[in-house]
Amino acid sequence: MHGTCEDQAMRPTTAQLETFFWVVRLGSVKEAARHLNLAQPTISLRLQELEAQFQRPLFDRVARRLTLTPAGDALLPRASSLIHELSGIRELIGGALFAAGVVRVGLSETFAQICLSDCMKLLARDFPALQLDITVGTSAALEHQVVERQLDLAFVVNPVGDPKLAVIQLGIQDAVWAAAPSLGLPREITPARLASAPIVTNPHPSPMYRQIIDWFREDGIEPGQICRCTSVALVVELVRAGLGVSLLPARLIEPFLNDGSLVALQPEKEPTPSRLYCIYRFAEHSPLVEAVLGAARQAITDLRFVKA
């Protein structure tokens, strides 16, 4: 039996749903058009046709920014599921070579410096059609971007957690209290002994900041001087220059501990462990996300980046 014209009019096309998906993923009509290799008017027309079928808007268009309406929010996981299934079918037909698409991945600075190149080599070998859009930042900022759908997944330290997120623990990333020898600090330290030393850290609410402040506050002490810096690499350089003390990723400062430009300080009590996690929205899970996570796991293992 043939469907009525009304039935057929209420059938969104794969092209319309794919357009909707990529506009949400990439945040704009312009970026979706670039990714799909289409003209922007074509993208806009597909969205208009899709909204006409729903008889309600899928986006709020405020100040040239697109945000999802409740109807759009309800549609997104279903459209995502369809796009991911299509990607899986292509991979099933053609193997990993046909696993194509863009994955927006966020990396903590230490993870990026130590593991990113190995991870990208593995992906280039196993999934050559997969593209990465990389953001490096503090763990707190990256977690927020995953929650807000600005990133597909991120590798972060000690995330706060959100009910929308899958949180996969990858291991403990060693951290070391370190200072330049020129400061002449005792090797064995307590919060009281460091209270008057300048502390260099990422800003609140970063994991580094929380670890440092909690370490002091457990003894009822507030550090006297705090220098806040968003770059872990720059924090390392400030500490090497003798401008303060910090709790730093052990793998990142290993060369400086070996050449003597930094010394490791031994705390009487250890700070909260730095646990590395992969996070992504449950609704955004896909074969491409799994491909990136798998490559990251392999790179982490090969480089012995974390311990269990």
Per-residue pLDDT of the chain (308 residues), as tens digits, is 454 444 445 688 888 998 998 888 877 888 888 878 889 999 999 999 999 988 889 998 776 678 899 999 899 888 888 877 777 676 666 555 455 678 999 999 999 999 999 999 999 999 888 889 999 999 999 999 999 888 999 999 999 888 889 999 999 999 999 999 999 999 999 999 999 999 999 999 899 999 999 999 999 999 999 999 999 999 999 999 999 999 999 999 999 999 999 999 999 999 999 999 999 988 778 888 999 999 999 999 999 999 87
As beta bridge partners, residue 279 has 154, 167
Using the structure block, give the residue that is written with the tokens 């303060």. Answer: 244
Burial class (CB within 10 angstroms; exposed 0-12, middle 13-18, buried 19+) of 236 = buried
Residue-by-residue DSSP string for 148-167:
TTS-SEEEEES----TTEEE
Domains of the chain: 5-82 (1.10.10.10), 83-172+275-303 (3.40.190.10), 175-273 (3.40.190.10)
As beta bridge partners, residue 66 has 61
Q: Is the peptide bond before 205 cis (omega within 30 degrees of 0)?
A: yes
pTM for this model (two decimals): 0.73
